[in-house]
Amino acid sequence: MKTSVVENFPGFPEGIHGLELAERITQQARRFGAEILQAQEVAALVQHESYQCAQNQEGKHYHAHSVLIATGASYRRLGAPGEEDYIGAGIHFCATCDGPFYKGAKEIVVVGGGNSACEESLHLTKYADKVILLARGGKLSASQILIDKVLGPHSKIDVKYHTAVEAFEGESSRLKTIRIRDLNSGKTEVLHPAAAFIFIGQQPNSGFARGFVHTDDYGYILTGHDLVHGHETAGQPEPQAFETSSAGVFAAGDVRHGSTKQVASAVGEGAAAAISIREFLKSL
């Protein structure tokens, strides 16, 4: 049996640790005989007779009895000028990963108003004297427990409501300045934080599979239990764990509905999905 890995959406964590992780995984896969096809982008999944086919942008098809979708999810961007220029150089998407680099900072900015933004703001207070939380709305949309902590009397978090980022500016290839605007008054302000962490949600890298497998309203792929409960599966065999609405097509990690969006659990899901795939192949 031959295994091919199509590197559709490289989603490893930022920084050297992510590169080391990618290299170790690649070496291990090659030791087990996996063929790795680099610089390939899957445009669509189609079915041809009894095979699943992954079609790349050039129209080439890769046929297999089973497919595992593990393309992850991408952090949403603000789209503000300068944002892309300073990712990894002052702009980050993971406080747990990159927060420690700013220990002793006077000020850190967090953008967002939901659970993730509040949780990560609280986490970043371990490293900075002050955290400025920029929310577009007039209130935070996080759980009440988190809101109470963020707005508590001893909180080190300063919340600015109705606020949008106008631009990120830097010097010597690092973020130095954030220009913000009050959406009500139109007044602008300049901040000089050590770093900015953006938490405005994620979007799954599942566009190529939509229409071929069932997804939720946000594009996350439905599997196993979630398909049986609440979605049409009448007349179809009950899907295995991590199996999608298309028999033989599985999904694991951040692209899957119900995933925890954590690297450790994504790795575990990949291993569990491989076991389900093995059982599926036995049934052919």
Q: Residue 163: which CATH number?
A: 3.50.50.60
38/46 Cα distance (integer angstroms): 21
List the domain range (segments joined by +) for residue 266: 4-74+202-282
Do 88 and 38 have their domain in common?
no
Do 48 and 153 have their domain in common?
no
Do 100 and 186 have their domain in common?
yes
Output the pLDDT for position 40.
81
201/24 Cα distance (integer angstroms): 29
Q: Measured between alpha carbons, how far is residue 257 from residues 13, 168, 205, 224 in Å?
A: 20, 33, 12, 10
Give the pLDDT of the chain (284 residues) as one tens digit per residue. 455 555 554 444 444 455 676 678 778 888 888 888 877 888 899 888 888 888 888 888 889 999 999 999 988 999 999 999 999 999 999 898 899 999 999 999 999 999 999 999 999 999 999 999 999 999 999 999 999 999 999 999 999 999 999 999 998 899 999 999 999 999 999 999 999 999 998 899 999 998 899 999 899 999 988 887 655 555 566 788 999 999 999 999 999 998 887 778 888 999 999 999 999 999 88
Do 228 and 138 have their domain in common?
no
- In 3D space, the residue among 64, 39, 68, 32 whose CA is nearest the CA of residue 49 turns out to be 64
Do 218 and 271 have their domain in common?
yes
108/133 Cα distance (integer angstroms): 9
Active-site residue numbers?
94, 97-98
Do 89 and 68 have their domain in common?
no
Q: Is residue 79 part of a domain?
A: no
Indicate the residue among 198, 217, 243 that finishes a domain: 198
Indicate the residue among 156, 172, 198 that finishes a domain: 198
Q: Which residues contact 274 (CB under 8 A, 6 or more apart)?
A: 68
Cβ count within 10 A of residue 81: 13
Do 70 and 163 have their domain in common?
no
Do 219 and 174 have their domain in common?
no
Output the pLDDT for position 232.
52
Do 89 and 126 have their domain in common?
yes
20/6 Cα distance (integer angstroms): 19
108 phi/psi in degrees, rounded to 5 = -130, 140
Do 60 and 91 have their domain in common?
no
Is 128 in contact with 108 (CB distance < 8 Å)?
yes
Do 177 and 225 have their domain in common?
no
Q: Is residue 224 part of a domain?
A: yes
Do 122 and 145 have their domain in common?
yes
Q: Is residue 266 part of a domain?
A: yes
Q: Is residue 173 part of a domain?
A: yes
Output the pLDDT for position 98.
92
Q: Is residue 20 part of a domain?
A: yes
Output the pLDDT for position 199.
95
Q: Is residue 142 part of a domain?
A: yes
**Residue 72 Cα to chain centre, angstroms:** 6
Output the pLDDT for position 6.
53
Indicate the residue among 176, 198, 220 that finishes a domain: 198
279/209 Cα distance (integer angstroms): 23
Query: What total number of domains does the chain contain?
Result: 2
